[in-house]
Amino acid sequence: MASDEKKTKKSSGAEGSSVPKLPNGDSIRLGKEADGLRKGALGVGIVALAGAVVLGGGPYGKQFQHSYLTAYMWGLSIAVGAVWWVTVQHLFGARWSIVVRRVGELLAQLVVVMAVLALPLLIPIFVGNDVLYPWAEHHYFEHHAYIASKAPWFSPAFFAGRMVFYFGFWVLLAKYFLGQSRRQDTTSGDVALTKKLQSISAPGMILFAVSVTFCAIDFLMTLDPVWFSTIFGVYYFATCVLTFNSTLALSLMWLQSRGHLKSSVTAEHYHDIGKMMFAFTCFWTYIGFSQFMLIWYANIPEETHWFNDRFFGSWLNATYFLSVAHFFIPFFGMMSRWMKRNTGRLRFWALYILAICWFDMYWLVAPNLHKDGVALTAADFLAWIGIAGILVSSALTRARDVNLVPTGDPRLTKSLAFENI
């Protein structure tokens, strides 16, 4: 491809340093201008988390742990969704997304900070504190003999091993994809690297499926050690795709507002990202409804009690709210082309979806603590803000001085010219 040889032109700025640009003149480097936001976000994040700790009864306080878990799983879904998305783009050899893939790769690095942020949840488990997980208490299965057969699953060593596997695998995969892609930047369209990444993505996808399933089970499903659902991993996965795509859209919009990627990322790309948001809203609904309806229909008490907790008192209102807000509104709202091709309107939906996915996590976690009814507390919101702030800060840190577009990808030109149906 003749036109792909000179991917970037270096233009010398006033300072004398060269800032990489694309042939269409777009800036593709995030410089110092993001530092203010980065530090601010980190500050807000830390303060908010501290506030959540204080209002939540201390690091081992019940409210804090539940609020933190809600926010944590929300944040993790963005990072894990990014890992999935990058893997899938390589697996299918997708071309439309090449322009935006680097941003996805950068968002995937958030798994590193999420691994660290898991500690406030993991430490109580290892010291046997059952503030969040009943089974963390050492003698739990002696008092609950009817589920004692699953005790080996919860042995600290096995649990730790699994955590190491999940986060280790995600971190390795995220770093690998970013690293190889950046290496490709220094070449002029090395196809061998693209092929290598594609062949890695297939086994990577298999391990991803296993890791996201069991991570969701370990963190969320075991809040109620009796309950089980084979589709639970898929349910969480749907959230991952939704939050990631929303975050991707917002990140791209923010970058464009700061003068980067102005003509590279077009309405076509936003349209496709919006289509994923729409499609996975439907997918989430399908999975959520299947899980609910099958358990409702068979009416077996060892399964229905989980839904019972969410169907009485004010929790019923929360459940209705979740179904309307997570399905009906985005379904009708995001159906049309018109809604998805405009950044202002898509920004609304991206923020909306991020918010409603947080509420989905809340609906999964909080009935464990507030058995009598919905109780949204300040700790819930502060934990959420805290995680969000830290994620923003971490993403900006990682994005510093990295090409925002995989300039070395042999099919970049096709992606720049992509037009939707």
Nearer to another protein, 5 or 15 (CB): 5
Concatenating the DSSP letter of every residue in 298-334 gives H--HHHHHHHHTTTSTHHHHHHHHHHIIIIIHHHHHT
Minimum distance between the CB of residue 93 and another protein, rounded to whole angstroms? 7
Nearer to another protein, 316 or 417 (CB): 417
Minimum distance between the CB of residue 98 and another protein, rounded to whole angstroms? 9
Contact at 8 Å (CB) between 83 and 208? yes
Minimum distance between the CB of residue 271 and another protein, rounded to whole angstroms? 12
- Residue 265 has phi, psi (to 5 degrees) of -95, 115
Nearer to another protein, 9 or 183 (CB): 9
Question: Which are the contacts of 342, defined by CB distance < 8 A and separation ≥ 6?
Answer: 267, 270
Residue with tokens 């969701």: 216
Nearer to another protein, 1 or 172 (CB): 1
What one-character DSSP code corresponds to residue 25? -
Minimum distance between the CB of residue 294 and another protein, rounded to whole angstroms? 5
Nearer to another protein, 50 or 293 (CB): 293
Q: How many CB atoms lie within 10 A of CB 380?
A: 25
Minimum distance between the CB of residue 78 and another protein, rounded to whole angstroms? 23
Nearer to another protein, 176 or 283 (CB): 283
Angstrom distances, CA of residue 108 to CA of 104, 158, 170, 383: 6, 26, 9, 21
d(CA 359, CA 365): 10
d(CA 10, CA 201): 32
**Residues engaged in binding another protein (CB under 8 A):** 1-3, 93-96, 146-150, 153, 202, 205-206, 209-210, 213, 228-234, 282, 286-287, 289-300, 302, 413-419, 421
How far does the chain reach from its first CA to its final CA, in angstroms? Answer: 25
Q: How many CB atoms lie within 10 A of CB 316?
A: 13
Nearest in space to 283 (alpha carbons), one of 205, 231, 248: 231
Angle separating helix axes 62-92 and 232-257, nearest 10 degrees = 80
Nearer to another protein, 119 or 417 (CB): 417
Minimum distance between the CB of residue 207 and another protein, rounded to whole angstroms? 11
Minimum distance between the CB of residue 36 and another protein, rounded to whole angstroms? 37
